[in-house]
Structure formats: structure tokens, C-alpha cells
């Protein structure tokens, strides 16, 4: 991390850059020199992966298995398409993270179907739950499948390739009128988890709902997300990966990169662009053209994020 001096916040804080593109399959991340860089989705990522040494991992999100409404009558099918793309990659990623809403209604069959398809990647998958994964009557199916070794409602951390990964849960105990919620217990755990870590350790935080406030009118943010960000403030490289909003958005503030991934199931409207954040129905032909590719390239000492959007079709 030599020569990687961010200085104080006021100096290094960059103009906020937001970028949006539409639904796609998954985001490929690679870690070179300890700094995660998003290489975009699948196809355009392939060439880059071959040329880029270091650890590579994949993010998929919002597969909503069981969803069968007009916006995409076959969400399982598009998840399978994403998995086929992953399997066709010449360079195998080290592992995958899934940022929640695996299922649409938390039915056992939905979890089973998701597992059947995602396991075809033969990758380790690190999950965090979305609100759609906790709506079975006893709220137990997600935990039975993915809760092993986790704390509280399912948070945990692990290390890979010199990077410290932290999976957070911000979809439980939501308060009327509020946003996503981490809660005091999880925040205390997070503070403790980071204690003693070298500030040069790259940190990746991932959770379902954006940890930053994207659009509170639609609940797109986390009430106490700022507290979590306080704890990672001193770290040289912080990357925050979320889903939930079914579109790519990115923001860079100082040494923190915020990024949301596409859904594999259906697109949602841009903030305020529709009466509600519900599934967005587009013509069939256009849906596939919206299953796009976004690459985000983050290099040390560069002020600008390079974002490339490449549709899979059209």
C-alpha cells in the first residue's frame, strides 16, 4: 500500500460520481494489490480477468427465485443464464458473494431451486439475506441453509486474498417509516471485528440494502449505515457492495467505493422515475438488451472510476 496516501477527508473526498445502468447477471470483482476492482459482468470481464493477476470474485444479487410476474415470468431461467455465463468464463473466480433476495417468497422450493442452479458454478458462495429471504412463517429457512457459523441474523466476516470481507444483515427489525437497519448488536460486533485490524487491510462490506442513502423515499438506504461506515473510516481501501435496487449505482467518497449490483431477475426503475420501486416491465426484446454488463475499474492513485456498460444483447 506504499504511495497510497489518502490524506485527510477534505483533500481526498472526490466529487460524487453516480452511474446507473440496467439489469444484468453478475459483477466480477478482482483484487490486485489489495484493491478490489470491478471488471464488469461476465463477457467483458473475461478478457480483463485473463490479463489481471490477483484474486477474483463474483457478485450476484436479487435472483428472486419464484418471481413469475410480467416483468420476468421466469426468474429462475435468467438466474440459470447468469450461471451459464459464469461457467463459461475462462478464469474461474475464487468464490462468489450473493447480496440477498435469493428467493421471492422464502418458500422451501424456491431456496431449493436457487441452490440447484447456483451450485452449478461449483464456487463457494457467501450469502447475506434480503428481506425476501426472511418471510417464511417461522423465519428459519434462510438460517437453516446459510446461517451456519454466522452471528445474530446472519452476519459474519472472513478473509480471502488478503482482503477482509464482512457480510452484514440490514433487513430485520425494520422500523415504521425507516430504512434498512443494522441494529446495535450488529454494530457492536462490527466494531469489535475490525478492532486490531491493520488499517492497510482492504475491507469489503456487503449487505442487501445499500448502506448509503440512495433514495429514502423508496426506502433505499440504511438507517444506521453511517455508523458502520464510521468504523471503517481509517482504512485505506473500503468497498461497499449491495443489491436491492436492481440497478448499478456507484459513488466514491474518499477511499470508500459504494456499488450496487444488478438483479438476475428483473429491473427496477431509477429513483423517482416511476410511481413505485416495483418490478419494471419492459418489452421482452428490451429486457434482454437490459441484461447488461458494467465494469468498474478502481486503481490506486486515480481520481476517477472507469465505468463501462456493455449490454449482453443489442
Q: Which is nearer to other proteins, 162 or 278 (CB)?
A: 278
Q: How far apart are CA 32 and CA 18, in angstroms?
A: 23
CB atoms within 10 A of CB 297: 16
The three cell numbers of residue 267 are 429491473
Q: How far apart are CA 55 and CA 113, in angstroms?
A: 29
Considering only 24, 210, 279, 292, the residue that binds other proteins (CB under 8 A) is: 279
Q: Which is nearer to other proteins, 10 or 70 (CB)?
A: 70
Listed in sequence order, the residues at least 6 apart from 59 whose beta carbon sits closer than 8 Å to its beta carbon are 26, 27, 28, 29, 96, 97, 98, 99, 206, 241, 261
Structure-derived torsion over alpha carbons of residues 52, 289, 114, 250, reported in degrees to the nearest 10: 50
DSSP of 184-250: HHHHHHHHHHHTT--TTS-EEEE-SS-SS-SBGGGTBSBTTHHHHHHHTTT-S-EEEEE-SSSSBEE
The three cell numbers of residue 8 are 485527510
Q: Which stretch binds other proteins (CB under 8 A): 29-37, 69-77, 191-199, 283-291?
A: 69-77
Task: Report yes or no: 123 and 87 within 8 Å, Cβ to Cβ.
Answer: no
Q: Residue 153, interface with other proteins (CB under 8 A)?
A: no
DSSP of 283-299: -HHHHHHHSEEEEEE--
Q: Is 19 helix (H, G, I), strand (E, B) or coil?
A: coil
Q: Which is nearer to other proteins, 181 or 239 (CB)?
A: 181
Considering only 3, 10, 90, 177, the residue that binds other proteins (CB under 8 A) is: 177
Q: Which of residues 44-63 bind other proteins (CB under 8 A)?
A: none
Give just the sign of the alpha carbon dihedral 141, 144, 148, 151: positive
Q: Which stretch binds other proteins (CB under 8 A): 8-16, 77-85, 118-126, 272-280?
A: 272-280
Q: Which is nearer to other proteins, 3 or 177 (CB)?
A: 177
Q: Residue 219, interface with other proteins (CB under 8 A)?
A: yes
Considering only 4, 6, 13, 69, the residue that binds other proteins (CB under 8 A) is: 69
Considering only 8, 217, 283, 302, the residue that binds other proteins (CB under 8 A) is: 217
Residue count, binding to other proteins (CB under 8 A)? 28
Q: How far apart are CA 97 and CA 58, in angstroms?
A: 6
Q: Which stretch binds other proteins (CB under 8 A): 46-54, 141-149, 173-181, 198-206?
A: 173-181
Exposed / middle / buried, residue 71 (Cβ in 10 Å: 0-12, 13-18, 19+): buried
Q: Which stretch binds other proteins (CB under 8 A): 9-17, 45-53, 279-287, 303-311?
A: 279-287
Q: Which stretch binds other proteins (CB under 8 A): 10-18, 38-46, 66-74, 112-120?
A: 66-74
Q: Which of residues 112-131 bind other proteins (CB under 8 A)?
A: 131
Q: Which is nearer to other proteins, 179 or 228 (CB)?
A: 179
In whole angstroms, how close is the CB of 213 to other proteins at the nearest point? 12
Task: Report yes or no: 127 and 102 within 8 Å, Cβ to Cβ.
Answer: yes
Considering only 71, 75, 166, 248, the residue that binds other proteins (CB under 8 A) is: 71
Q: Which is nearer to other proteins, 92 or 281 (CB)?
A: 281
Residues that bind other proteins (CB under 8 A): 69-71, 104-106, 131-132, 135, 137, 174-179, 216-219, 274-281
Amino acid at each position: 500500500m506504499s504511495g497510497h496516501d489518502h490524506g485527510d477527508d477534505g483533500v481526498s473526498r472526490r466529487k460524487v460520481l453516480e452511474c446507473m445502468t440496467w439489469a444484468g447477471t453478475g459483477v466480477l470483482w478482482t483484487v490486485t494489490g489489495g484493491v478490489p476492482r470491478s471488471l464488469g459482468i461476465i463477457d467483458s470481464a473475461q478478457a480483463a480477468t485473463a490479463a489481471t493477476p490477483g484474486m477474483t470474485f463474483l457478485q450476484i444479487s436479487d435472483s428472486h427465485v419464484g418471481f413469475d410476474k410480467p416483468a420476468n415470468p421466469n426468474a429462475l431461467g435468467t438466474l440459470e443464464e447468469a450461471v451459464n455465463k459464469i461457467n463459461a468464463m475462462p478464469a474461474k473466480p475464487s468464490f462468489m458473494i450473493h447480496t440477498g433476495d435469493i428467493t421471492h417468497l422464502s418458500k422451501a422450493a424456491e431456496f431449493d431451486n436457487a441452490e440447484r442452479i447456483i451450485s452449478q458454478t461449483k464456487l463457494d458462495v457467501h450469502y447475506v439475506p434480503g428481506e425476501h429471504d426472511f418471510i417464511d412463517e417461522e423465519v428459519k429457512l434462510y438460517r437453516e441453509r446459510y446461517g451456519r457459523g454466522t452471528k445474530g441474523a446472519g452476519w459474519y466476516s472472513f478473509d480471502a486474498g488478503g482482503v477482509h470481507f464482512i457480510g452484514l444483515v440490514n433487513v430485520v427489525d425494520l422500523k415504521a417509516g425507516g430504512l434498512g437497519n443494522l441494529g446495535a448488536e450488529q454494530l457492536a460486533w462490527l466494531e469489535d471485528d475490525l478492532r486490531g485490524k491493520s488499517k492497510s487491510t482492504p475491507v469489503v462490506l456487503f449487505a442487501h440494502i445499500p448502506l448509503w442513502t440512495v433514495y429514502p423515499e423508496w426506502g433505499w438506504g440504511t438507517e444506521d449505515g453511517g455508523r458502520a461506515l464510521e468504523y471503517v473510516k481509517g482504512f485505506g481501501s473500503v468497498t461497499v457492495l449491495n443489491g436491492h435496487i436492481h440497478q448499478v449505482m456507484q459513488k466514491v467518497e474518499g477511499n470508500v467505493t459504494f456499488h450496487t449490483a444488478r438483479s438476475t431477475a428483473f429491473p427496477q426503475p431509477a429513483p423517482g422515475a416511476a410511481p413505485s420501486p416495483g418490478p419494471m416491465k419492459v418489452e421482452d426484446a428490451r429486457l434482454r438488451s437490459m441484461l447488461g454488463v458494467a465494469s468498474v475499474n478502481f486503481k490506486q492513485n486515480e481520481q476517477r472510476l472507469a465505468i463501462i456498460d456493455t449490454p449482453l444483447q443489442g
